[in-house]
Amino acid sequence: MPADIAQAIDDAARTIRGSHYVVALVGAGLSAESGIPTFRGPEGLWTKHGEPDLRDYDRFQEDPAKWWEMRISRASQFPELVEALNTAIPNEGHFALKDMEDEGVLRHIITQNIDNLHQIAGSRAITEIHGNRTKLRCIECSSRWPMDEFPMDELPPHCPECGGIVKGDTVMFGEPIPRDALNECIEQTRQCDCMLLVGTSAVVYPAAGFPMEVKQMGGTLIEVNPNETPLTQYVDVVLRAPAGEALPRVVERIRGDSA
């Protein structure tokens, strides 16, 4: 971690303590230290294999039974991602966010990650804007179930609540963000006066738009990322370091101040 980060850690802790409603906007970078590849950047999955095309969801809607048969019978397009997701455990960055929630200084996490690591780390106030890989969701009423608790006795599976078609909860390329999740993100952003940008390249919307809304409402932005992003120019405090190293130090500082 850069030597001169101590001042930034202090600034981040003071800014968080001095804020009323802190929300963390989280991206793939937080789970990088848990061995899950990020999407962009030199080692990114999309950089290496190209981004999935935006017709994924159209293909699902055209023939959901075929989509399910393929999903069940065929290996994933990104086996290294699946392998990493299957074996990953939370890292110090996830636990630091949980500690901030316990300290009462972090009100909510808006995560773009589908890996369920926030929940395993013990965080509670979470909105998964891109879904959760361990769940299924009805595309009509957005009811959700743990994947291993849903009877797969027909393809495509149908929702016991409304009869709608059920798919994985992970939001596909080309699929609209589920209304309930989007509304919660908008509500959390509306209340937010300090947003922590943790491990996101801030290029995918609507998530990438939330920080600027906070800024326009007079709020502050704290970026935790070893690399610059398009939002860096608007950020008040920059922690140019891996989240798993920087966030625990911020918690220490926050706890130190309250001791």
205: number of Cβ within 10 Å: 9
Pick out residues in 220-239 that bind ligand APR (CB under 6 A).
Answer: 224-227, 229
Binding to ligand APR by residue 111, rule CB under 6 A?
Answer: no
Q: Given candidates 157, 199, 211, 219, which one binds ligand APR under the rule CB under 6 A? A: 199
Location of structure tokens 């963000």: 177
Q: Given candidates 1, 14, 41, 56, which one binds ligand APR under the rule CB under 6 A? A: 41
Q: Given candidates 9, 13, 32, 100, which one binds ligand APR under the rule CB under 6 A? A: 32
Please list the active-site residues.
130
Under DSSP, is residue 201 helix (H, G, I), strand (E, B) or coil?
A: coil
Query: For residues 18 and 220, is the Cβ–Cβ distance under 8 A?
Result: no
Q: How far is CA 190 from CA 4, 51, 105, 183, 212, in A?
A: 33, 31, 17, 10, 11
Pick out residues in 121-140 that bind ligand APR (CB under 6 A).
Answer: 130
Which candidate, 94, 99, 90, 97, places its Cα nearest to that of 35? 90
Q: Given candidates 22, 24, 27, 220, which one binds ligand APR under the rule CB under 6 A? A: 27
Please give the Cα distance from 255 to 259 (Å, whole number).
Answer: 6
Q: Given candidates 19, 38, 132, 220, which one binds ligand APR under the rule CB under 6 A? A: 38
Pick out residues in 43-72 that bind ligand APR (CB under 6 A).
Answer: 44
Please give the Cα distance from 100 to 118 (Å, whole number).
Answer: 13
Q: Which helix (H) or strand (E) holds 79?
A: helix 79-87
Binding to ligand APR by residue 174, rule CB under 6 A?
Answer: no
Binding to ligand APR by residue 99, rule CB under 6 A?
Answer: no
Which residue sits closest to ligand APR, CB atoms considered? 29
Query: For residues 71 and 78, is the Cβ–Cβ distance under 8 A?
Result: no
Q: Nearest distance from residue 4's CB to ligand APR, in Å?
A: 18
Segment interacting with ligand APR (CB under 6 A) among 32-40, 101-109, 159-167, 210-218: 32-40
Strand-pair partners of 194: 22, 220
Binding to ligand APR by residue 39, rule CB under 6 A?
Answer: yes
**Residues in touch with ligand APR (CB under 6 A):** 27-29, 32-33, 38-41, 44, 112, 130, 199-201, 204, 224-227, 229, 242-244
